[in-house]
Amino acid sequence: MFVSSRVRVIGPLAEHSDGFRAKLFSLGYTDESSASQMRLMADLSRWLACEHVNIAMLQPDAIERFFESRRRRGFASKLSPQALRPLVKYLAALGVIEVCVDAPPESSTERLLGRYREHLLDELGLSEGTIRLYVTGAASFIKSCGLLVDIAFENLTAGDVTSFVVREAPKRSNAVAKNLVVALRSFLRFCFAEGLTNHRLDAAVPGVASWRASSLPKPLRREAIEDLLATCDRTNPVGQRDYAILLLLWRLGLRAGEVAALSLDDVDWRNGEIVVHGKGGRDERVPLPVDVGEALADYLRPVRPSQQSRRLFLRVHAPIEALTSGAIRWTVRAACNRAGVPEVGTHRFRHAVAGELLCEGAPLSEIAQLLRHHSIDTTAIYAKVDRSSLEFVARPWPGESR
């Protein structure tokens, strides 16, 4: 008999114990781990009954009181809300409780940022990633300027806005600084529409100087990429999964978010194609190279956990969930650390793909098609990595002999 099945849950959570036990199994928890989670559920159920707390009232303050009770009773493990996250997510999915990962906003600033988030989502229809970027920029502006909603916003001046950008932009890379000013303009337009400011201050946000093709990216050579691929131990599940991920980045030049968004239904084995969910909600079919297809097959057949999720890449250990774009980036960083080379971002693979094709004489139009660029000007940026070709068009320095 399994250990987890011997854990008896009494009290208000008893009716959900069998379903939760099955959910843990589906997420790949071992029997010992499941038993630990079931014991925590049983303890919480007894506490709810003793304290006369309704399940629907299982919010952050009640959860904290429960863990304080565990500490007083001498428990040495599972003493933080993080330990209860699997059960909370399960109960929230059933509609038994409301999602209570974070405490509800308490300050006027948090409520303002909540309204701003709703504006970006409902009225502008922005993606979750863009919304997160804009809200973070707005929060940084409010904190840096020491603003208090309904008090200081009406006194905000163009000089305050300019000073913020001048002060904060040098602390960031050029790309991050450009994102900050875009987010700030959006937030200031929202503030004017909400009546928080008497004047439109978005025009006071200065631009960030940026010269196209002013610098050369450090090239990621084929040898370095092969070293990264070689660090994946393909005798274990994690290594086979990571090998397939790195190969997708290298052979198809996919972005991290595009790799994370792939599902089992996106791979067309019969026609040798794969559907890529790109920027702007565009779905495009691209050829599936033989080596990439073989790597995916090696991962899918004996390695990928058998789950209800249709996402292509999943966590190997419990809780078995779909990998995020952040996890794809972490996979690249981990490979760099194993290979003993400086860490690189996933986007460097796109530069490497373009550079490789340029060296082989491929025209920009073909590279644009592979990288799914809708403007040849965007693809031209990647031509900077072909240093050998640039030497032929570089003009000699005055007085230099050639």
Count of residues in the chain: 402
255 is catalytic: yes
382 is catalytic: yes
- Which residue among 304, 350, 351, 372 is the active-site one? 350
For every residue of 45-91, DSSP letters joined together read: HHHHHHHT--GGG--HHHHHHHHHHHHHTT--S--SGGGGHHHHHHH
For every residue of 189-212, DSSP letters joined together read: HHHHHTTSSSS--GGGSPPPP--T
Place of tokens 């450090």: 218
Sheet holding 283-287, edge to edge: 267-268, 273-277, 283-287
φ and ψ at 92, to 5 degrees? -65, -40
Three-class SS state of 314: strand
- C-alpha–C-alpha distance, residues 315 and 36, integer Å: 20
- Which residue among 234, 241, 251, 255 is the active-site one? 255
Residue 367 CB neighbour total at 10 angstroms: 23
178 is catalytic: no
- Which residue among 23, 251, 382, 384 is the active-site one? 382
Strand ranges in 315-356 using DSSP code E only, listed in sequence order:
none
- Which residue among 111, 279, 333, 387 is the active-site one? 279
Contact call for residues 307 and 26 (beta carbons, < 8 A)? yes
- 289 sits in the region (left: phi over 0; alpha: psi -120 to 50; else beta) called beta
Residue type, 193: A
- Which residue among 23, 251, 373, 384 is the active-site one? 373
Under 8 Å CB-to-CB from 94, ≥6 apart: which residues?
A: 16, 19
φ and ψ at 268, to 5 degrees? -100, 90
Under 8 Å CB-to-CB from 290, ≥6 apart: which residues?
A: none
Say which DSSP state 322 is in.
B
For every residue of 248-312, DSSP letters joined together read: HHHHH---HHHHHH-BGGGEETTTTEEEEE-GGG-EEEEE--HHHHHHHHHHHTTTS---S--BS
347 is catalytic: yes
Token pair of 41 as six digits: 């559920």
Residues tagged active-site? 255, 279, 347, 350, 373, 382
